Amino acid sequence: MPQVLNIAYTSKPVSRSGAIVIYVAENGVPDGLAEPIWARTGLDFKNVAGATGFAGKPGHMIDLVTPSGLDCDRLVVLGRGRNGDMSGETVWADRGGSLFAKLDSLGVDSAAVVIDEPGQSPDGVAALLAGLRLRQYSFDRYKTAEPANGKSTNLAVTVHLRSEDGMESALAQRMATVEGTLLARTLVNEPPNVLGPVEFSAHANLLSEFGIEVEILAPEDMEKLGMGALLAVAQGSERPARLVVMQWKGGAKEAAPLAFVGKGVVFDTGGISIKPALPMFDMKGDMGGAAAVTGLMKTLALRKAPINAVGIIGLVENMPDGKAYRPGDIVTAMSGKTIEIINTDAEGRLVLADALWYTQSRFKPSAIIDLATLTGAVTIALAHDHAAVFSNDDALADRLIRAGLASGEKCWRMPMSPAYAKLIESRFADMKNSGGRPAGSITAAQFLAHFIGDVPWAHIDIAGTAFGVPNTETNTSWGTGFGVALLDRLVRDHYENQG
């Protein structure tokens, strides 16, 4: 049975709880709201800290079982680091993740967490609570056996503060981002036999419950529009393609929307240019961009973001069937441009080519941002710590970099230039879909630029950050949901209330 996590906050004194948690600064002693709680134990804090090696650094812990003078099963003292180290929201979120891990390991069913320290703000505390929820997430719906650890399936965490001012709004905003991130994680984690293009589009259609307008285009609709690039990728699969359009209308009626486009290759064999067998199972995550866009749209709706936004995802499966497209084929994109197929494993850019052209043609957006697990090359350049940003607009690129630092979903800008564009010139068509191994992530971005007009545009290659990354304080899931928090922060900081 999945664990249920209940989160609350209050300015009332601590009452009966399975665990009471207090924080102590590096080389400090319990102070503020924590001081009278520790005093009730009758113990000398410096002696206990010395005996346990506790110095107040992050990760340090004192765990007192059935402490005298307190109505709890255990008193947990956690290191908060040096004063002044907790100003960033990402640090607070990490603290929440590590707190959940400790409470989960203790097997308690309730915890009262006392927060009273320099740098405390409603946004910081909301980030801590969000970190709890992010770390608690697990994808185990296909496991039939219950875990044999004997732990409670319910955990109630109440944060005790001096003041509740600003908490309701801060927590609602932050949890909306969490819900979008967890939706994206779940979509990425789903097995490919369960989540095909049709099933994915059904998940997206559920967002209509939150006020999002959803349209789903079938292959015949895309054929009428001339989406020969996207449909070429899909033609080798028995599972029909879908293009999903999600609109959130929270801004002024006449305001141009901000557009988000996601690559949704629900499984990628590489097609005729088939991938090696060993890492192919990871390719159920090749729809991480579409998952992030879907999660973002849910977040914007949940927090009733004052902006017009459109999310468009192209959903296909790339299979090596007798009807599959081949190396050497020439296909015609919706824009009318022709593409020579060099490698059928360079398929995501074909999906995006038609999705991007459709987006700007129909919606005339103020800016377009696409997300895609596009190239293995980006992991060679940046590994799993940063996503790559390519852009035709310096201001947009800079905003994404700053939003990445603020949200913890970091980005690094990569170059684009005519010299790289030359690598995808074709002898037989307007362009070819692969420039080979050199600068692979850059030539992929140069390819996408052919399907962008004058609109500010950014392409984010999340192949190294969307799945299979090392565990963090806030994520132990295979799918990360990367991109939801990044783009929500971008929207909040730069695009809301703009008319």
Tell me if 91 is assigned to some domain. Answer: yes
| Cα–Cα distance for residue pair 462/397, rounded to 1 Å | 15
Tell me if 499 is assigned to some domain. Answer: no
| Cα–Cα distance for residue pair 54/45, rounded to 1 Å | 10
Q: Is the pLDDT of residue 148 over 70?
A: no
432 belongs to the catalytic site = no
Q: What are phi and psi of 148, to 5 degrees?
A: -100, 30
| Cα–Cα distance for residue pair 453/337, rounded to 1 Å | 13
Range of the domain at 412: 174-494
**Alpha carbon separation from 275 to 180, 269, 320, 389 (Å, rounded):** 31, 6, 11, 26
Q: Which residue is catalytic, options 275, 304, 337, 402?
A: 275
Of residues 270, 277, 243, 262, the one with CA closest to residue 325: 270
Q: Which residue is catalytic, options 349, 399, 489, 492?
A: 349
pLDDT of residue 9: 96
Question: Which of 165, 189, 213 is the C-terminal boundary of a domain?
Answer: 165
pLDDT of residue 482: 98
Residues 229 and 269 in one domain: yes
> What is the average pLDDT score of the chain?
95
Tell me if 479 is assigned to some domain. Answer: yes
Strand order through the sheet with 258-268: 213-217, 242-249, 308-318, 258-268, 367-372, 457-461, 387-391, 411-413
Helix (H) or strand (E) holding 90: helix 89-106
174 belongs to the catalytic site = no
| Cα–Cα distance for residue pair 296/126, rounded to 1 Å | 19
Q: Is 133 helix (H, G, I), strand (E, B) or coil?
A: helix
Q: Give the confidence band of 345 by pLDDT, cuts at 50, 70, 90.
A: very high
How much is the average pLDDT of 489-498? 90
pLDDT of residue 304: 98
CATH number where 112 lies: 3.40.220.10
- Encode pLDDT of 193-207 as tens digits: 999 999 999 999 999
Q: Is the pLDDT of residue 152 over 60?
A: no
Q: How many other β-carbons are positioned within 10 Å of the β-carbon of residue 74? A: 18
User: pLDDT higher for 481 or 59?
Assistant: 481
pLDDT of residue 84: 67
Structure tokens at 413: 């800008």
Q: How many other β-carbons are positioned within 10 Å of the β-carbon of residue 237? A: 22
Residues 138 and 191 in one domain: no
Residues 346 and 447 in one domain: yes
